[in-house]
Amino acid sequence: MGKLAFVFAGQGSQAVGMGKELAENFPVADKVFDEASAALGFDVKDMVWNGDAETLMITENTQPTILTASVAALRVLEEKGIKPDVVAGLSLGEYTAHVASGSMDFADAVRLVKKRGKYMQEEVPVGEGAMAAIIALSADDVKACCDEASEIGVCSPANFNCPGQIVVSGEVKAVEKCCELAKAKGAKRAMVLPVSAPFHCSMLIGAGEKLAKELENIEVKDMNIPVITNVTADYIKSKDDIKPLLIKQVSSSVLWENTIRRMLADGVNTFVEIGPGKALSGFIRKVTKEVNVFNVEDMKSLEKTLEGLEG
């Protein structure tokens, strides 16, 4: 028997109505939305289920609502008795992984990521930072493009998502220059993304420092399930490392492809993506076709996943 991994969605996967079906069918999922509303002081259900896409796009709303929808789906799987051998999450999803592993309380996590979103947004004035996806270029080539573009401003790899998909982040002019260089090197596409801030680059170090102050008020506990962090693509050794890694994570590259490879090397052969969207499932399939990949975001996907895991 191979191992089972739960992986958790990051920012960009949000959608109006996310988590509604599961909450209507499972009291444990519904309760998560109520807990989020109590922790944040506003009606999360109303924002997520009756709101508009623009409101959800605001980073300080996006982060807590994706976390909430993801934990709601997680609680349903837990109630069904399904426990993973390892967990990880893309950027924001790493907080969901900590909730899953028992190292962080949900109420603490949801308050924390709202502030994380706010700090990440405020750190760089709108219009000064950008991110771009580089398609079908090697990691070394992308790094070389970033290095050259860095002569005119900050530009560095932000997300190593999967083979042939790397996201870069930095100052607008430098990111645009990086896209030009990438196309010249043979990238299929190099396109600026519709995001509101340059995540996971040195421009966000200040946001990490503000987050550090918030983390001082939060208790982290021992992990009941091993967690692989974005920062190193390796297991977090002890609970004492959790806070420093979460601070660093804001301004360092997300090593997602290597996170998947680490799991594969340890015998994971089944992945369940938990939360809205299927972006992570796509990344996993680009790394390997030799594993089972499921996702849980609504009733249909839940039923399919439960059937697949029983099989």
Q: What is the pLDDT of residue 194?
A: 76
Q: What is the pLDDT of residue 155?
A: 97
From the candidates 70, 98, 156, 200, which is the catalytic residue? Answer: 200
Residue 183 has pLDDT above 80, yes or no: yes
Buried/exposed code over 189-212 (b: 16+ C-beta within 10 A; e: otherwise) = ebeeeebbbbbbbebbebbbebbe
The share of the chain scoring above pLDDT 90, in percent, equals: 93
Q: What is the pLDDT of residue 8?
A: 98
Q: What is the pLDDT of residue 125?
A: 87
Q: Which domains does the chain have, with CATH numbers?
A: 3-123+203-310 (3.40.366.10), 129-195 (3.30.70.250)
From the candidates 13, 70, 91, 301, which is the catalytic residue? Answer: 91
- Across the range 143-163, mean pLDDT stands at 97
> pLDDT of 59-108, one tens digit each?
899 999 999 999 999 999 999 999 999 999 999 999 999 999 999 999 99
**Nearest Cα to Cα of residue 202 among 261, 153, 244, 235:** 153
Q: What is the pLDDT of residue 195?
A: 78
Q: What is the pLDDT of residue 48?
A: 97
Model pTM? Answer: 0.95
> pLDDT of 101-128, one tens digit each?
999 999 999 999 999 999 998 999 888 9
Is 98 among the residues known to form the active site? no
Q: How far apart are CA 219 and CA 149, in angstroms?
A: 41
Residue 184 has pLDDT above 80, yes or no: yes
Q: How far apart are CA 11 and CA 9, in angstroms?
A: 7
In one-letter notation, the amino acid at residue 139 is A
Q: What is the pLDDT of residue 231?
A: 97
